[in-house]
Structure 1
Amino acid sequence: MSQVIGRLLAQVRTPTPAADAALATLVGLPLLGWTWVVLTIAPGPSPVAFAGALLAHSAMALRRTAPLASFGAVAAGCAAMLAGAGGLLLPPSMLVFPWSLYSMCAYGSRRALGWGPVAALLGSAAVGLRFWLNPREASGLPPAFVFLFLLAVTMMMWSFGLWRRTQRAYLESLEDRARRAEADREERARRAVHDERARIAREIHDVVSHSLSVVISQAQGGTYAVRTNPDRAAGILTTIADAGRHALADMRGLLGVLRAETPLESESAGSAPTLAELPRLLEGTRAAGLAVTFRQDGAERRLSPAAELAVYRLVQESLTNTLKHAGAGRRAQVVLSWGSAGLAVQVQDDGPGDSRPPGGTGLGLVGMRERFQAFGGTVAAGPATTGGFHVSARLPYLQRTEQT
């Protein structure tokens, strides 16, 4: 909703000839009609005065798209009104002069700013001179008073134009800062995904090496079993087939989330952790000052190394975020629920849930989603309804995530 309102406000702030023409017509028609009436009643007017009024009102349609040219046309029109107004000292259409002066200062170039005080001084002096040359029509108003009053009004409009110009520059700087912040956030998210996928590529060696080691060792033993114990050789071949099938499934699952340009590094960054190492992770977290409780529901099932690694990293990242955002002295709970169709992982703490990015948009959780999506799983994170922050994930039992 806020983005829609922001776009509407941006459209209103954007100078458009159609909007300026509509406003100039709305304001100009009453003033132009009033000017025509008083010029008709006043003694000795010339058609030049009405032509000047028409020029001034028409030029206001370009007050924001071509402010300096518009002001020049308005000034020429006002001069024509003063010269041909006859006994009418100040036609009503002269009111467009301060409005045009404001527009020139607010929307014109920096060079146009210096013309503001000069135009205000000359315009006020021209009207004051006309009052001085026509004392009978001036009704006793001192020309000096008229000059100073009009100078104050025009300088005030020039000041309003400067204020509007400063406001526009400030809003543009805020919008530019917001655009750069959004671009930076997207770039950091893309970089996090890239780094996580690169780390997955490094771990492929560890995830698959176990299965390949089994294949090699069983194949070596099978060459002897074929000659000495054919029944045992059949079991060895079955083991080799299962290990190869699981290795291929893990490779497909992990490589599916990698970009084509991501290099596959053959060197391992260390042994890939499994669920059996969760107690050690929890002990290290408790030593850091976070009280963690762990519970498993349902009958535990054996997962593939890649799936176990995904679950381990999710718990590790969630507890790390709790230490980072909630601090030591808090409590957290880790629950693994082994259901009939999949494994549900819940990590919840009692810290301030609103101190973290909404909807789980942290960079670490971006990588966790990538891991679980490789196996058809999902990850959700956010403030818990009972307080604190929670991370929930679901990993379905697929052929490539479960070992039989």
Structure 2
Amino acid sequence: MQQTGKPEINSASALKTCRHCLQPLVLQLADLGFSPVANDFIGLAQSGEPEVHYPLEVRVCDSCLLAQVVHQLGARDLFRADYTYYSSHSSTWLEHARSYVETMIERLRLDKNSRVVEIASNDGYLLQYVKQAGIECLGIEPTEGPAAVARKAGLEVRTEFFSEQLGRDLANEGWGADLLVANNVLAHVPDINDFVRGAKALLNPEGVATYEVQHLLRLMQQNQFDTIYHEHFSYLSLLAAERIFHAAGLRIFAVESLTTHGGSVRFHVCHADAAWDTEPSVDAMRDEERRYGLERRATYTEWSSQIRKTKLALVQLCMELKKQGKSIAAYGAPAKGVTLLNYCGIGSDVIDFAVDRAPSKQGKLMPGVRVPIYDPAHLQKAKPDFILILPWNLKEEIKEQIGNAREWGGQFIVPVPEATIEQ
């Protein structure tokens, strides 16, 4: 049942074999050139120093259909103590977490005797609602900054990377999980087989694990190439996920389509022999992926042309606006924004500045393009003509937050799936 080998990496740290099934990795999905690490923001004191850029290419395994970044950076180099992503800075994401917790408590009939474990618990954005419900919970978070915030909120957090061994250790300590939560972390795991086996070890016999990942199908349908960056080792479809979980002795028994991150999927997973019935949603999503062509090589090789169209539309729009003497600011400095601006070659000569609600990013420069980042209050002072919304998946929330931009005639640019101006 288990994949016991390791993917082969050559001297340039580029994968030659699939990180799941170890078959040769040759089918290209996207080549975005060279890009810096998306969350390595630059302090002003280092503004004159060079940056390291790495190849950013995604290939798809012909055998198991797992899409994966070819140039692999070490997880400990990406998720460090100075990691700058804090989930609680988005009110939309907080509401998503609250609603999820309420739903799962009811569906699984969780109570004070239950145990909930979250992998990649970040700053406690989700577990705070579990704790409020009086249910024992534990967070696993490898980055010190977000983990410290969660501890201040009274949550128990282990600062470790999740693995099969850690799953076994936690189960032996009495943390066998009735609910194992893994939101937007499966894609961030270099050794995906070890990670999934950890869930197998930690889950109680009838326990449920849920995994939220950006859906490869939606990514391709909406030309969301900007969600490709080095922290995302894998890009998952149901077709690929079923193979991965099956190899670990687990089974996907339900799926949900979500609007988060431009189109995500939530896999509900149990032990292969658990009593949970496989729901019709699984067959429906599998059929949708097949109709789109996720089992055909040509579907992947032809996608690059769609990427170029999205890139050119944004570049042409920004160039035309600058020719007219218009000022352009960016709202948000997410990882997807770093990929987008670097791939499109749009830097500080086009984007005057960016703003972000995260204090950890303010006063720094965006990687590669060197756009300065300020507090959102700077928008009111500068009054830019156009605001490029880089976290476009949160565009409605952002428009509401900075709706006063319309008072000075400010308009919004949404870059994906094709650059458009919105009021």
- TM-score tier, shorter chain, comes to under 0.3
Higher relative contact order (CA 8 A, sep 6+): 2
Normalized per residue, the structure richer in strand is 2
TM-score (normalizing by structure 2): 0.24
TM-score (normalizing by structure 1): 0.25
Normalized per residue, the structure richer in helix is 1
